[in-house]
Amino acid sequence: MKRYDPQKEEIISVGIDIGTSTTKLVISKFSLMNMAGGTHMPRIEIIDKEVIYRSPIYRTPLLSQSTIDIQAVDALVEKEYREASIKTSDIQTGAVIITGETATKKNAEEMLHHLSGHAGEFLVATAGPDLEGIIAAKGSGAFAFSRKTGKTIANIDIGGGTANIAVFKSGRLCGTCTLHIGGRLIEFKNNKITHISSPVKEVLNHWNSSLSVGDDKGHQDVRKICQYMSDVIVRMLKKELTNEDKNLLLGHPPNWNDVVEIVMFSGGISECLYRLEEGQPVSAVYDDIGEMLALTLKENEQLQEWTWIQPEETVRATVLGAGTQTTEISGATIQVEASELPIKNLPVYQIRFQHHFETGIQKISTGIKEAIDIFDAQREGQNFALYFTELPHMGFKDIQGLAETILSAIKNKPNQDQPLVLVLESDHAKVLGQTLNVQDPTKSVVCIDQIRVEHGDYLDIGNVLQTNVVPVVIKTLTFHNS
């Protein structure tokens, strides 16, 4: 009898974080294995993630306060690839994250598309404060801590321009919040103030403060603004932000219901607290309020009401999260047209069946029309993925009826040459994909399952791997305004 040999494969992932203050890169190796026995349906999972290269920490290259130096970032990435002995063709997955104030730069989106095209065959681009906070919490160790202990922990990732907060309990995301709090919101040169960010100016105006560019860095209101930021973090954790505090709020207010028990700080300001990078190559030089902000956090008596847990990573939390935590695997029961892959930046439209077949079927035609209106309003041919959730038990006739309904409804799409992309919460992708192929052999179908996404998320689906699975990156492409 032939001994069962489990399928194994290794893939390379890259994470690049272009932040307000710093830019860094990590390269990781994922080990995939079929975790099902030889007589069972294959179940390919990521069983190990190993960081094989960490770049130095660089000062983010800017041409001006409002423009990223795209060529300099490109050169930096190419240099680090050479140092790591990695070619772009070696990379199967990963993420480029433009974070903090850098995401507000006028050429931020251009930067993302540039890197997405040049830094690897399947390297995705993401930005958005909520996602940044979630990824940082995974890179810092906060997510794993919450899952292990069942405690409610807030990871507060403070960089140069923003504080991205993600709250987890028992490994479940409870909510997020983002604040204009960071080291580079006031910058110095030769002991004089050279830059004050707009949100800080709003607070200073509210105080009738005269603090302005050209003043001495020792001005009393510089320390006062740092102390105020620390107090705002306290009120944010308690969900008690004042009207004045909202000058520093970026997006929605705190949206979790659980009481925060533990705090963890990551990001550049956390490095000022813990110095985990000492002895590591650091190319960035700071001349801002970062050190003072870290000091006021340590001195804030109200913040000591929470238990502080030291992070596993400080300034590298987001880049490690991006490189190791954004990829999921869909396989075994999938049906994909390999020639259509990879697919990037595909918006997701969700259709809930509510565990009733007829209810879901009736939603498909109107759902596709609405998806076209949302994602392809100009009828230029922007493709999208349909995400079917809460599916009931389906027999052969149900699958046939579902396929017929889908093929009829997609005739409303302006570009009929696009692949039909379907994402299923349950393990029906292969049978549905094959049925669609039989009913319309001319239609390219990419049908995947075992992936959980949200309505409005974006997907990147990578090339088929040796183990007949595909890497999938779920992301939110949100460019926020300062």
Whether 8-127+322-327 shares its CATH topology with 131-313 is answered yes
pTM of the model: 0.75
Tokens at 185, concatenated: 């919101």
Q: Please report, in tens digits, the pLDDT of each residue of the chain (482 residues total).
A: 344 445 677 888 888 888 878 899 999 888 877 665 554 445 566 767 888 999 998 988 988 877 889 999 999 999 999 999 999 888 888 888 887 777 777 888 788 777 876 777 666 666 567 778 888 998 999 999 999 999 999 999 999 889 999 999 998 889 899 999 999 999 999 999 999 999 999 999 999 999 999 999 999 999 999 999 999 999 999 999 999 999 999 988 999 999 999 999 999 999 999 987 765 544 455 689 999 999 999 999 999 999 999 999 888 888 877 776 666 666 555 677 878 888 877 888 889 899 999 999 999 999 999 888 877 877 888 889 999 989 898 888 999 999 999 999 999 888 888 999 999 887 788 899 999 999 999 999 999 887 777 766 778 888 887 767 778 877 654 333 33
Dihedral sign, Cα of residue 349, residue 351, residue 352, residue 355? negative
Nearest to 134 by CA among 117, 109, 156, 119: 156
Evaluate whether 326 touches 434 at the Cβ level (below 8 Å).
Answer: no
Radius of gyration of the chain (CA): 24
Evaluate whether 54 touches 63 at the Cβ level (below 8 Å).
Answer: no
Q: Distance between CA atoms of 261 and 398, rounded to whole angstroms?
A: 48
- DSSP assignment, residue 338? G
Tokens at 334, concatenated: 């999938």
* pLDDT at res. 343: 83
* pLDDT at res. 482: 34
Topology adopted by domain 131-313: Nucleotidyltransferase; domain 5 (3.30.420)
- The 3-state DSSP class for residue 357 equals helix
Evaluate whether 460 touches 478 at the Cβ level (below 8 Å).
Answer: no
Residue ranges of domains in the chain = 8-127+322-327, 131-313, 328-475
Question: What's 8-127+322-327's CATH class?
Answer: alpha beta
- DSSP assignment, residue 288? B
For residue 301, the number of C-alpha atoms closer than 13 Å in the C-beta half-sphere is 0
Dihedral sign, Cα of residue 65, residue 67, residue 71, residue 77? positive
* pLDDT at res. 1: 36
Cite the DSSP H helix spans in 238-289: 268-274
